[in-house]
Structure 1
Amino acid sequence: MVEPTSPTSGAAGPGGSARSAEPDRPAAAGASIRLDNLTKRYPDSQAPAVEDVTLDVAAGETVILVGPSGCGKSTTLKMINRLIEPTSGRITIGGEDVTGINPVALRRTIGYAIQATGLFPHMTVAENIALVPKMAGWPRAKVRDRVEEMLELVGLDPGEFRGRYPRRLSGGQQQRVGVARALAADPPVLLMDEPFGAVDPITRERLQDQLIRLQRELRKTIVFVTHDFDEAIKVGDRIAVLRDRSQIAQFDTPEAILASPADDFVAGFVGAGAGVKRLHLKRVREVKLADVPTATVDDPLETALHLLDAGSASADHLLLLDRERRPHSWLRREDLTRARSAEPAGEPLPLSAGTPVRSRIGVDMTLRDALEALLADGAGRVAVTGQDGAYAGVVDMSTLLNAMHGAPGERGAEEARPTGRGEPA
């Protein structure tokens, strides 16, 4: 019913974020959305809940609606799929006016994920995900294959999870099933109403990262409601900061809003520490990584000491990698010297030596994630891994400071990677 459209030149729309125009991203599978003078009045209220809102969302773009509680952002979202009927105005998806379409048929073409997941407790995970494809009349085999595909897409093993009931899932697992169900019928548009608001902060960060990864692969058009500005700048290509009645205070890229808030109201949402918040906008793979001497567990002690001696005068640590070239432990020169005195010549490096690597980050994580990992580790540096877990480089404070100040000559993790093993997503 609503056909996907592709944006021209891969742009994210007016003022579109560079994240939406990455050359390696596939063509958008989403559909453009336009809200034209959209208004919602309730009979028992003097003021409209939403008043005269006009907003354009490009195909394949993630637009965040952020604003204080009660400002009408969820009402605006629900009017797009007509869970709430607008009082006046038009909604077009892929150029088609949907205000005259049967609302039930419309909702089958739009994915919808909410804070409480909305999973049916009497249905298994597979039955929940299969619900809309079955209603759309898909063949049984196609539905079964789609359920398997969606579970794998959101990182849940089909064999383990397809037969479970929602009560046997953690909060994060339930949210992932909710996203899988929303995407099951391959809709061009995905609406998300504070989908990660009910989970703990660590799980929330992981779900945000997973959504970003999914969007890089799928290029749906996403409209996402949140009250958390940090979440908005991490997830969104563009952000609409809303006042009461969903009046738009500023609609721009996260970079532009952080650099130049339109007024005091928007500045209040940005809050303190705008420079640190900018770290949300860049991923580890986009910056020049530092490097340290590395050795594997099969290398002899003499080789490790030689690597330290051949490094810079300040090289006092070596990163020990396991046989899969994954970061294992940090070795100081004293650790190596002590191990050499206790082991016969030619013996490989002992796994028990040194300090275990407590924190590591992937190339698709943000620099804000890297900062938190660096502070938590306490070593002054944090190891970076590719998608397969293999060592790709190191982030230290110099890396972050250079990124914040736009140091010239930056190169991505793929170029800096010494092993060629871990490919970024």
Structure 2
Amino acid sequence: MGASIELENLSKRYPGNPNPSVDNVNMEIKAGETVIFVGPSGCGKSTTLKMINRLIEPSGGRIRIGGEDVTDIDPVKLRRKVGYAIQSSGLFPHMTVAQNIALVPKMVGWSKGRIKERVEEMLDLVGLDPGEFHGRYPRQLSGGQQQRVGVARALAADPPVLLMDEPFGAVDPITRDHLQDELIRLQHELHKTIVFVTHDFDEAIKLGDRIAVLRERSHIAQFDTPEAILTNPADDFVSGFVGAGAALKRLNLTRVRDVPITDYPTVTVDDPLQVIFNKLRESGTNEILLLDKRGRPYKWLRRGDLMRAKGSLARAGTLVNDTVTRDATLRDALEAVLTDSSGRTAVTGRRGEYTGVVDMETLMNSVHELLEADRLEAMEHQHELEEARAAQTHAEQEGDGGEEKA
């Protein structure tokens, strides 16, 4: 489980610089909460993050984790209790995946048997087959796989706090979306306290329970929920981060698991052609989803494809190019549906196994509901402003009347 984090008057000054890099930051982060630091380059967000585990020593102020003041304890011991994941994974290239993950448990004195079990548990947790990846070296992994191992290493000793410094910034957009979904799923299971630095506001909306929008020297411009920041930014600086299309950005706040997922007729690559024909005919649809041997979406098959198959599915159908998980956002799902151009996309579980389908109609209904909610909220806010102005005008008139009588 997570632990609370309190930053009290936290500051950092570097010799020769008249202005502090981080100036008097005060913040309370709840146990089990995911908080995102977002702000312009050089605003001090990474410096603030690194002071929490004292990779950078504070010049002033206090840090409390779980109520314990960690400002004066041994920083090496502190770092063993705080998970840390960075961009490009930070894996040691001369160590295998298993050795990288085992690093901190070994340092804190875990037994070999316990470490071996933990390595396998962590690989499974981040969606990597322990038998396949245990002995590999980082150079033998894709960027996304390296980042998964980096997260596994950060969580290996079961720390209550996980610090993440732009961990997904160096991977391609599709892999980044999948890694974000994986982090959301992990947090549902683990309930750690996560502090995450990014410059991408869309990523902040997708991942954060609360977002701290930071100005220069880590001054807090607004610290609130994604919904509150999108609908009621504190000032023009925050509005600049929100950018255009706030209503559409709210698609990042709703998950696929929150909307209806429909079942779809499926067959497997091991099914005979006649069975597939029969299933398609019985389903009453013009299309069926072919699953591979592991139950993962493989191809969309239409009636015409089967007619042309001539006893083999090797060249029949259309490959499934994109899928979404239940933890993906509606924005992810909408992009997948539009990319596929067929009005639907397959939804998968943690191992890529098929769990259902979400379609364009469902997504558009959700978009309309969000837009309507925004419209009603804007009308209510306008009504409140008008009432406040009327009350102020009335008070001023009463005051003028009183002065005339006097």
Q: What range describes the TM-score normalised by the shorter chain of this pair?
A: 0.7 to 0.9
Q: Paired residue for 1:71, among 23, 28, 43? A: 43
Cα offset for 1:201? 1.6
Q: Paired residue for 1:331, among 302, 306, 314? A: 302
Change (3 A) 1:330 1:267: farther
Aligned to 1:383, the other structure's residue is in SS state strand
Q: Paired residue for 1:401, among 341, 361, 364? A: 364
User: Which string of whole-angstrom CA distances, capped at 9 and with x for unpartnered residues, describes residues 154-173 of structure 1?
Assistant: 22222332222222222222
Q: Paired residue for 1:360, among 307, 318, 323? A: 323
1:259 and 2:231 are equivalent in the alignment:
yes
Change (3 A) 1:121 1:304: closer
1:229 and 2:201 are equivalent in the alignment:
yes
User: Which string of whole-angstrom CA distances, capped at 9 and with x for unpartnered residues, describes residues 84-112 of structure 1?
Assistant: 11111111100111112111111111111
Match of 1:319 in 2: 288
Change (3 A) 1:288 1:349: farther
Give distance in 2, aligned partners of 1:362 and 1:108. Answer: 32
Change (3 A) 1:31 1:326: same
Query: Contact 1:330–1:357 at 8 Å: present in 2 too?
Result: no
User: Which string of whole-angstrom CA distances, capped at 9 and with x for unpartnered residues, describes residues 274-320 of structure 1?
Assistant: 2222111111111124577x465655757745654xxxxxxx74334
1:47 and 2:10 are equivalent in the alignment:
no
Which AA in structure 2 matches 1:403? Answer: S
Aligned to 1:60, the other structure's residue is in SS state coil
Task: Specify the structure having the higher radius of gyration (Cα).
Answer: 2
Change (3 A) 1:183 1:350: closer
Q: Number of residue pairs matched?
A: 362
Query: Contact 1:386–1:392 at 8 Å: present in 2 too?
Result: no
Q: Report % sequence identity.
A: 65
TM-score calculated relative to the size of structure 1 = 0.77
Change (3 A) 1:351 1:56: same
Aligned to 1:405, the other structure's residue is in SS state helix
1:94 and 2:66 are equivalent in the alignment:
yes
Give distance in 1, aligned partners of 2:324 and 2:29. Answer: 32
User: Which string of whole-angstrom CA distances, capped at 9 and with x for unpartnered residues, describes residues 14-48 of structure 1?
Assistant: xxxxxxxxxxxxxxx01000111111111211111
Give distance in 2, aligned partners of 1:74 and 1:191. Answer: 10
Aligned to 1:83, the other structure's residue is in SS state coil
Between Structure 1 and Structure 2, the one with more helix by share is: 2
Give distance in 1, aligned partners of 2:237 and 2:266. Answer: 53
Cα offset for 1:117? 2.3
Query: Contact 2:324–2:347 at 8 Å: present in 1 too?
Result: yes
Match of 1:411 in 2: none
The aligned runs of 1:177-188 (5 Å cut-off) are: 177-188=149-160
TM-score calculated relative to the size of structure 2 = 0.81
Query: Contact 2:280–2:286 at 8 Å: present in 1 too?
Result: no
Match of 2:214 in 1: 242
For structure 1, the residue ranges without an aligned partner over 5 or more in a row are: 1-28, 309-315, 408-425
Aligned to 2:110, the other structure's residue is in SS state coil
Give distance in 1, aligned partners of 2:239 and 2:196. Answer: 21
Change (3 A) 1:322 1:221: closer
1:204 and 2:176 are equivalent in the alignment:
yes
Cα offset for 1:234? 1.1
- Aligned CA RMSD, in angstroms, stands at 2.8
